């Protein structure tokens, strides 16, 4: 039987044959890919010619092409359209892949040759991007244990394999809970829900085959909308508790992961895992990251406590005598917003049709960066929900964009950007293939909340970071940047959704085609900073939990660590962390955001300050500012030091005032 993964890809733009792939194709493809890469690495390490940039760095960049092809396809399917067979392969391959990469990074002969090139780099007449990729490769090897020897080297490798397995187990445990749980609802429990929400709940019950007319899944989008709308307090509590209980079996997984991360960091000479992770970031140190969190925490908590008191007063005004709880906050906040701003967010939904918001994201990219999007129905996909567009700039195709917008049991929760191929120019122009995954409710008409629309813009900002990349080396392509810089392009892009020029053009009624009334638009914009104390506190709480796990101390019990972190900051009891430890996939489903969840806030300092560059021109699409943004942020990947890249775009270092003002957290103290 021909294996599509090992055969030439003949679809337009050499897109992967996703529709033809079956789980049984992956094990032999991995076997072939790993063997090929092992042979390539052995040849590079044993090359008798003197070590040079070409026969070490360039050779490393060219190696592993088949493995990259297989791994990108598999990882996307495993997260967006998984099944029992794929999950079994995922568990099997996690330690095997970790073992393979350990062998690469811990190859003494290979590192000796790379180190020789690195030590003579000053006299090697390298171009700027060549120097950058050499420095990044050398640092990659050092951080992967290349300078260790003997027992330390063996232990480091063993830790890597175990961590890979544990991360996979963590994610699969969360997904299993999400798949297994849907809250059944009776007619009386639907009070307060819009017609669109009722239709979605009916569709969920039918899709899940439940013996009830209505149900709500544990998708964050559905949960938050239900908590906001539903009048039935016991139903809100039941859904909140089920949502919070995801990953119930993950406590021992977390304890083992954190202990191994700490040991790994200490093998490399760092006191804590946080110190190790932040050493290769814009923040640089744990102290710098914590300082930012603490600077924002004080005004955010004060604002949240004032919001709490206002909500509690509203509870009392309605004649209830209960104390506000986390499952009440969104519900009463929405009632208070309606009173203060004469604004009910549910009336927005008819103006936020999914297709129109996709068009808005595309239009914004066109205005800023001159790109356009052409639907392609001839590109194979892995699920009927997936749509594909060809992306063009100046009449030239620059990549493919896949949009997978709807929730389903086979997909992980949340929203993310990923790739099936990264841009580079190492051997001719290689076009990127970029994906956006969201988890919107699939119930016609496909209407979004304002938060859903913001999520779509956020992930599309990441997508543009991959699509607009213009670099030579794959190691520096697109989103291969520091964790506290990678969120800049995505968070910055969210700002355009709120611009009157975008809303007046694309926020049109899905039935009548009429633009959102100016009065409603004005209310939407006026209410932007409402409930920002809550939003900031729930995020910061998760960032502090992340730091608590990775800055040393007793981490044997996940719930105790989380409680300790929340006690340190005097967390308001009425607010729950956005991500609790047992389902905190950002930090335990892999180590990408481990000791790095603060990065969203760090990037918000950059994005809030960066958007002001447009506002200062009185044109949010100012061509000169957009050109600098394209050159130094969206297209440059990891080719520059990230602080220098921001300064080149903005003309100076970022200032926190824009973030505090944007969230409505400025006071006399913070303004000073």
Secondary structure (H, E, C), 147-171: CCCHHHHHHHHHHHHHHHHHHHHHH
Q: Residue 127: count other Cβ atoms within 10 Å of its Cβ.
A: 10
| CB neighbour burial string for 385-399, b if at least 16 within 10 angstroms, e if fewer | bbbbbbbbbeeeebb
Name the nearest CA neighbour of 587 among 607, 561, 554.
561
Name the nearest CA neighbour of 208 among 371, 410, 54.
410
- Packing angle, helices 532-550 and 286-317, rounded to 10: 140
Let me know: does 588 contact 594? Beta carbons within 8 Å: yes
Let me know: does 436 contact 602? Beta carbons within 8 Å: no
Distance CA(246)–CA(16), nearest Å, equals: 33
Q: What stretch of H or E contains 435?
A: strand 433-440
- Packing angle, helices 532-550 and 558-568, rounded to 10: 130
Distance CA(468)–CA(613), nearest Å, equals: 21
Q: Give the rounded distance of the alpha carbon of 189 from its chain centre.
A: 33
Provide the 8-state DSSP code for 174: H
Name the nearest CA neighbour of 365 among 395, 402, 391.
391
Let me know: does 229 contact 253? Beta carbons within 8 Å: no
Q: Give the rounded distance of the alpha carbon of 445 from its chain centre.
A: 27
The backbone torsions φ and ψ at residue 323, rounded to the nearest 5 degrees and listed phi first, read -85, 135
Residue 459 annotated in active site? yes
Distance CA(472)–CA(430), nearest Å, equals: 10
The backbone torsions φ and ψ at residue 621, rounded to the nearest 5 degrees and listed phi first, read -120, 25
The residue whose two tokens read 């977390």 is 254
Burial class (CB in 10 A: 0-12, 13-18, 19+), 33: buried
DSSP assignment of 365-376: HHHHH-EEEEE-
Catalytic residue among 459, 487, 494, 548: 459
Name the nearest CA neighbour of 245 among 325, 168, 181.
181
Q: What stretch of H or E contains 436?
A: strand 433-440
CA 286, 292, 297 angle in degrees (round to 5)?
120
User: In a 3-state reduction of DSSP, which class is residue 95?
Assistant: helix
Instruction: Give Cα separations from 474 to 237, 376, 483, 567 (angstroms).
Output: 47, 26, 17, 44
> Do you know the residue count of the chain?
672
Let me know: does 567 contact 374? Beta carbons within 8 Å: no
Catalytic residues: 459
């Amino acid at each position: 039987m021909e294996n599509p993964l090992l055969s030439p890809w003949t679809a337009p733009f050499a897109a992967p044959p996703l529709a033809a792939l079956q789980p049984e194709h992956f094990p032999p493809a991995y076997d072939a890919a790993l063997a090929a890469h092992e042979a390539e690495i052995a040849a590079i390490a044993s090359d008798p010619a003197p070590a040079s940039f070409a026969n070490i760095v360039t050779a490393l960049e060219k190696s592993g092409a088949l493995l990259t092809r297989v791994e990108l396809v598999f990882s996307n399917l495993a997260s967006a359209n998984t099944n029992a067979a794929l999950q079994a392969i995922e568990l099997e391959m996690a330690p095997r892949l970790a073992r393979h990469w350990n062998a690469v990074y811990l190859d003494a002969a290979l590192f000796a040759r790379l180190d020789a090139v690195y030590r003579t780099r000053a006299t090697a007449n390298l171009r700027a991007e060549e120097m950058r990729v050499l420095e990044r490769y050398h640092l990659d090897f050092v951080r992967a244990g290349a300078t260790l020897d003997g027992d330390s080297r063996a232990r480091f490798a063993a830790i890597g394999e175990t961590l890979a397995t544990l991360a996979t187990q963590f994610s699969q445990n969360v997904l299993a809970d999400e798949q297994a749980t849907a809250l059944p609802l009776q007619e009386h429990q639907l009070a307060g829900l819009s017609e669109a929400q009722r239709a979605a709940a009916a569709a969920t019950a039918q899709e899940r085959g439940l013996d009830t007319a209505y149900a709500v899944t544990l998708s964050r989008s559905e949960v938050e909308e239900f908590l906001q709308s539903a009048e039935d307090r016991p139903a809100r509590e039941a859904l909140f508790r089920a949502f919070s209980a995801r990953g119930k079996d993950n406590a021992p997984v977390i304890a083992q992961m954190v202990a191994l991360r700490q040991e790994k960091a200490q093998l490399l000479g760092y006191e804590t895992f946080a110190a190790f992770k932040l050493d290769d970031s814009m923040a640089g140190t744990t102290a710098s990251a914590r300082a930012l969190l603490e600077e924002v925490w004080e005004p955010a908590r004060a604002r949240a406590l004032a919001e709490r008191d206002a909500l509690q007063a509203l509870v009392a005004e309605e004649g209830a005598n209960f104390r506000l709880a986390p499952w009440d906050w969104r519900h009463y906040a929405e009632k208070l917003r309606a009173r203060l701003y004469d604004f009910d967010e549910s009336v927005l939904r008819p103006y936020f049709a999914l297709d129109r918001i996709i068009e808005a994201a595309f239009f914004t990219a066109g205005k800023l960066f001159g790109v356009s999007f052409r639907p392609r129905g001839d590109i194979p996909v892995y699920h009927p929900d997936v749509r594909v567009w060809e992306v063009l700039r100046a009449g030239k195709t620059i990549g493919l964009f896949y949009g997978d917008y709807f929730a389903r049991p086979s997909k992980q929760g949340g929203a993310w950007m990923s790739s099936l191929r990264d841009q580079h120019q190492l051997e001719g122009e290689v076009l990127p293939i970029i994906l956006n995954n969201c988890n919107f409710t699939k119930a016609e008409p496909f209407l979004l909340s304002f938060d859903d629309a913001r999520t779509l813009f956020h992930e599309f900002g990441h997508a543009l970071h991959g699509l607009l990349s213009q670099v030579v080396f794959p190691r520096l392509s697109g989103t291969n940047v520091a964790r506290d810089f990678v969120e800049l392009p995505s968070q910055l892009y969210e700002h355009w959704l709120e611009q009157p020029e975008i809303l007046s053009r694309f926020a049109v009624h899905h039935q009548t085609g009429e633009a959102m009334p100016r009065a409603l638009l004005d209310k939407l914009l006026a209410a932007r900073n409402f409930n920002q104390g809550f939003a900031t506190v729930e995020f910061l709480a998760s960032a502090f939990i992340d730091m608590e796990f990775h800055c040393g101390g007793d981490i044997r019990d996940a719930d105790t660590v989380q409680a300790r972190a929340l006690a340190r900051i005097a967390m308001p009891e009425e607010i729950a962390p956005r991500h609790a430890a047992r389902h905190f996939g950002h930090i335990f489903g892999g180590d990408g955001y481990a000791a790095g969840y603060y990065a969203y806030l760090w990037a918000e300092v950059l994005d809030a300050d960066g958007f002001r560059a447009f506002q200062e021109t009185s044109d949010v699409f100012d061509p000169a500012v957009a050109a600098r943004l394209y050159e130094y942020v969206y297209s440059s990947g990891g080719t520059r030091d990230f602080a220098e890249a921001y300064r080149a775009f903005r003309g100076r270092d970022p200032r926190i005032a824009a973030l505090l003002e944007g969230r409505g957290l400025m006071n006399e103290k913070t303004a000073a």
